Amino acid sequence: MHVLVLGGGVVALTTAWTLLDRGLKVTIVSEEWASSPENKVSSLAAGALWKCLPLECGPQAVTANLETNQKWTLESYKLFNALAAMPELKGIIETRPCTIVTTGTIEGNANMEKKLDFVQKNLSGFRRGENLFSEYQINTEHASGLTEAYEYSAPVINVTKAMEFLTDLVARKGATMKTGAIKGSLLEQEARLLREHRADAIVNAMGLGAAVAANDPNVYGLHGALVRLVNDGSAFPVIKNTLIVSSTRAGESGGDGAFILPRDDGILAIGTISTAEGQAEDLGLDSQAVREMRARCEDLLPQLKLAKLAEVPIIRGTRPQRRGGARVEREDVAGSRIVHAYGHGGAGWSLAVGSANETARLIDEIAAETLSGPSLSVLEGVSTVKETYPTQKTSLFETSVMV
């Protein structure tokens, strides 16, 4: 069974990894890669913190199909925690406390009660109490009116290193990597692509490109930005745990939410901003949206007013958002061998593993009786990393082609 995976982001690469571990042949085609000098892969602009759904801040559309999405995030959580325990991956993935501060009471709020129950049952390091405010020097007079706090351990991903690792890993596992662009309707090109690549099925993990490729009007770009501050202890004590203030406003903007994420390189990333208006490039340090976001974070942790900007002070990107949540399903045109996997929005890293497993299941349907041997479980994939990485480095990419 030969699968053609379209896309170069975290969803595409994690899907390719899963398919390779099932013994399938995989070719990946992407217009750009994480290791490209000037890439625009949205996965690189992510925080990236594993997030428990529904999201505390930013767009809330991902709450669609919440039970399924929470299952997928838990699969990612288990795999990322297992990878974080591997010495070979030090500096790529690690686990840290993640403190959630709410702007409303949990009791009486059905969504928040369900989420807290999920956290207590499934995540490690759980704590809850007002003592977290003083422990982390959180300003309880915050403009949003902070009420409760709880904490759990969450994987934190160094996105640049993790994308390079994933790209390298699938190449070492035998994936063929091709640089190229898919233009126009994927369905109209399906027969040609299958023939030219000698593939048996196609995975559409093109992110924003799926708007055209899948003719999906629900896909749109959601622009965001993170401001990067120096977190070396010179201006204020080093911040070691992630801190998130839940938004009290629904919709695209995330309203009054705040996001503070320490990186392992002495950098503190703060956010978040989500807007469908204009372009990501419009989100400069002096833009109103960024100024307001910084003010929210400084209101939460007043010591941030003393912070110095990092050498690269701001990172901007565009999330592949989709109204109704991520689409992970087979193309509904009879006879098509396309599986769609796009629209994960700001939860791409959190959903990637579960989404990949579901995509592989759908490929199993297409393959019918042709696959031999049992499918791997999510945690069996950890052993394949140990077997594959690190090994002798090989060339990753074929000559650039237009497909």
117 in a structural domain: yes
Bridge partner list, 149: 101
pLDDT of res. 191: 96
Taking the C-alpha atoms of residue 188 and residue 42, their distance in angstroms, rounded to an integer, is 26
- What is the average pLDDT across 164-179? 96
pLDDT of res. 402: 32
Closest to 252 (Cα-Cα) out of 322, 348, 328: 322
- Give residue 298's domain range: 97-153+220-322
Distances (CA, A) of 215 to 184, 193, 219, 327, 331: 9, 17, 9, 13, 11
pLDDT of res. 326: 94
User: pLDDT, tens digit, for every residue of 190-204?
Assistant: 999 999 999 999 999
Contact 357, 22 (CB under 8 A): no
Taking the C-alpha atoms of residue 119 and residue 150, their distance in angstroms, rounded to an integer, is 10
Backbone φ and ψ for 148, nearest 5 degrees, come out as -135, 160
225 in a structural domain: yes
Long-range contacts of 130-138 (CB under 8 A, 24+ apart): 132/99, 132/101, 133/101, 136/99, 136/241, 136/243, 136/301, 137/301, 137/302, 137/303, 138/101, 138/243, 138/300, 138/301
44 in a structural domain: no
pLDDT at 373 over 90: no
User: pLDDT, tens digit, for every residue of 383-400?
Assistant: 667 676 554 333 333 333
pLDDT range class, residue 59, cuts 50, 70, 90: low
Mean pLDDT (the chain, rounded): 86
pLDDT of res. 109: 83
Query: Domain of 292: which CATH number?
Result: 3.30.9.10
pLDDT of res. 245: 87
- What is the average pLDDT across 276-285? 86
203 in a structural domain: no
Instruction: At 126, list the tokens.
Output: 């759980």
82 in a structural domain: no
More confident residue, 273 or 46: 273
pTM of the model: 0.88
Amino acid, res. 196:
E
pLDDT of res. 381: 59
User: pLDDT, tens digit, for every residue of 76-86?
Assistant: 999 999 999 99
296 in a structural domain: yes
pLDDT of res. 47: 59
pLDDT of res. 64: 61
Length of the chain: 403
Domain count within the chain: 1
Tell me the residue ranges of DSSP E strands in 113-206. Answer: 127-128, 148-157, 176-179, 201-204
238 in a structural domain: yes
Greatest mean pLDDT range, 160-164, 283-287, 357-361: 357-361
pLDDT of res. 398: 37
- What is the average pLDDT across 127-133? 95
pLDDT of res. 263: 85
235 in a structural domain: yes
pLDDT at 153 over 90: yes
pLDDT at 370 over 60: no
Greatest mean pLDDT range, 95-104, 167-176, 280-289, 390-399: 167-176
pLDDT at 403 over 50: no
User: pLDDT, tens digit, for every residue of 96-128?
Assistant: 999 999 887 888 888 888 899 999 999 999 999
Contact 99, 149 (CB under 8 A): yes
- What is the average pLDDT across 241-255? 63
**Residue found under tokens 């009486």:** 108
Taking the alpha carbons of 155, 160, 161, 164 in that order, is the dihedral positive or negative? positive
Closest to 98 (Cα-Cα) out of 237, 243, 239: 243
pLDDT of res. 56: 62
- What is the average pLDDT across 330-348? 94
Distances (CA, A) of 337 to 100, 165, 218, 363: 42, 29, 22, 8
Q: For helices 10-21 and 348-367, what crossing angle results, to 10°?
A: 40
